[in-house]
Structure 1
Amino acid sequence: MLPNLLPDLPGVGFKPEHFAAIRHSAAGIGFFEIHAENYMGAGGLPHAQLTAIRADHALSVHGVGLSIGGARGLDPDHLARVARLCDRYQPESFSEHLAWSSHGADYLNDLLPLPYTEETLRLVCNHVDQVQATLGRRMLLENPATYLCFAQSTIPEPEFLSEVARRTGCGLLLDVNNVFVSCTNHGTDPRAYLTAFPLHLVGELHLGGHEAEALPSGPLLIDSHGAAVADPVWALFAEVIAVAGPLPTLVEWDNDLPDWPVLAAEAARAGHILAKGGMGLARAS
């Protein structure tokens, strides 16, 4: 299988609104990431822009619709479209989510949580094996942002992801914002989660913004990808880098898109933490 070869530098999600600014100046950006489902057409302006970006930069393809945890099996047509996209652009990395988003022919347009059981583990491993065999490359599997826990779960999430990687040979994508969101929502310690996480299997990190909603039971955090990275997430990121060393790090900003200089500044902050090894460089709140 082809390995993951992203540079240990900051990256950002490519948005067409930023194309002209990127072509003018993308200093300090190590790679760009796209959502696979936005590029499944055969041509047109999206592919013309992506071809230009790909000529000068490393590329990560991030799937949001394979439904790795779906009970009915992977959609072979969807997987074939992902394979054609990866064959066309030869990205340095491909990743997907530990989640499900479809049931039969119905696509639910969300990343929904799974119970962490032996049955789910076998299902996810079978699907990861299928994806890797079809793509001919090692994929990364991302930890989700979650808003509930299943009573029937018997395996902690870091252990579940570690076992998927052991059985399939896949790598992991660690979304630090998802860790903070999930642990806050469940009343658990994000640092304990990261201590248990197999950092040696991580091929990419994600950072992103979240929103908070006040509930009688306490704050509910929503993984919105529509705001700047929060200070507690920067602090956790710096701690991960201090332990794991530099890793390819993406700043996700998909909604309420800012002007390019704002997004580039977020990437520059990530780059500074990467360059300095993480120690003492984030403001904890």
Structure 2
Amino acid sequence: MLDTARLNRLPAAPGVGFKPQHFAAIMEDAGPVRWLEVHAENYMGDGGRPLAQLRALAERFAISVHGVGLSIGGAQPLDKDHLARLAKLVGWLNPASFSEHLAWSSHGNTYLNDLLPLPYTNATLTRVAEHIDTVQSTLGRPMLLENPSSYLAFAESTWSEPEFLAELARRTGCGLLLDVNNVFISSVNLGFTPKGYLDAFPLSRVAEIHVGGHDHDADDHGAALLIDSHARPVAPPVWDLLADVLARTGPCPILVEWDNDVPDWPTLRDEACRAEHALQTGAVG
């Protein structure tokens, strides 16, 4: 099995994405939550309330830094200024984990407010591996790479997604962040079975797991289309899939994502309690 301590120092316990409106409640009663995720781009300034809150949280909780703006799958070199700001944050915070998405989000000087898909080809593999190497050498630590939610498949892809991620991990030494909600979304949108995906996924490289909510829609032909909205509770089939994953991996850090239409703290804490129950029993009550 993978030495996850080399990739992160997160406890095998529930975590949640930190939202400033929850700060006081978390400090008073965190419930089962033992670690927090923050998005790197929200904490790249030089001061103010965000950094003051983050410093206070870091004294009590393990912190995971999750990047959303590196565009690690982009065709151009990584933005040196962005990477330098990220290195500064990681340097003083010394988080338990750093992760990014297998996606691209910039073109030239234009930054897009989305995480866009990649064709899984040899050329893409080489480019993404080079970008991961750059990030890891700049930060002085290994990173985790997250599987995306997919809404289309590229005809030119020559690798399956699990094989592509496995080869990236082999070439670069990075770990993987398995987003179970993304697996379920992609399975519905692209028409494959989650079990088959997990059978092929390099679970020995997984150092962190995410679950979150999604929305239901339909495509132009009336077929079901799931959207990775992070705007509602985790759906029952995603909890079921999490139980399947944990049966294969054993205990692992589990993040509950809820980034839009953010609920009050007791509601989010209840979701973390369900994740804790899954860790303790292998099922969700």
**Unmatched 5+ residue regions in structure 1?**
none
Measure how far apart 1:2 and its partner are. Answer: 5.7
Equivalent of 1:218 in 215, 223, 233: 223
- Alignment of 1:9 onto 2:23: no
Secondary structure, aligned partner of 1:261: helix
Q: Report deviation, 1:128.
A: 0.2
Q: In structure 1, the residue corresponding to 2:16 is in which secondary structure?
A: strand
SS in structure 1 of the partner of residue 59 of structure 2: helix
Aligned residues: 280
1:262 aligns with 2:267: yes
2:174 and 2:7 map into 1 onto residues whose CA distance is: 10
Determine if the alignment matches structure 1 residue 62 to structure 2 residue 66: yes
Q: State yes or no: 1:136 paired with 2:140.
A: yes
- Cα distance per residue 1:16-63 (max 9 Å; x no partner): 010010111013112000000011111000011111111100000000
More displaced stretch, 231-240 vs 23-32? 23-32
Q: TM-score, normalised by structure 1?
A: 0.96
Query: Deviation above 2 Å: which 4+ runs of structure 1?
Result: 214-217
* Range with greater deviation from structure 2 (20-29 or 147-156): 20-29
Task: Please tell me the residue identity of whatever aligns with 1:33.
Answer: E
Hey, what does 1:242 align to over in structure 2?
247
Report the equivalent of 1:97.
Answer: 101
- TM-score, scaled to structure 2: 0.96
Deviation at 1:214?
Answer: 2.6
User: Partners in 2 of 1:86 and 1:196 — Cα distance?
Assistant: 32
| Aligned-partner residue type, residue 51 of structure 2 | H
After superposition, give the CA deviation of every residue in 1:160-211 in whole Å (9 maximum; x if it has no partner).
0000000000000000000000110011111110111111100100000000
Residue of structure 1 in register with 2:193 after alignment: 189
Equivalent position amino acid for 2:135 in 1:
V
Root mean square deviation of aligned Cα = 1.1
SS of 1:56's equivalent in the other structure is: coil
Map 1:111-122; keep pairs closer than 5 Å: 111-122=115-126
Q: What pairs up with 1:83-94 in 2 under 5 angstroms?
A: 83-94=87-98
| Aligned residue type for 1:264 | R
Aligned CA distance change for structure 1 residues 29 and 282 (closer, same or farther; 3 Å): closer
Structure 2 SS opposite 1:52: helix
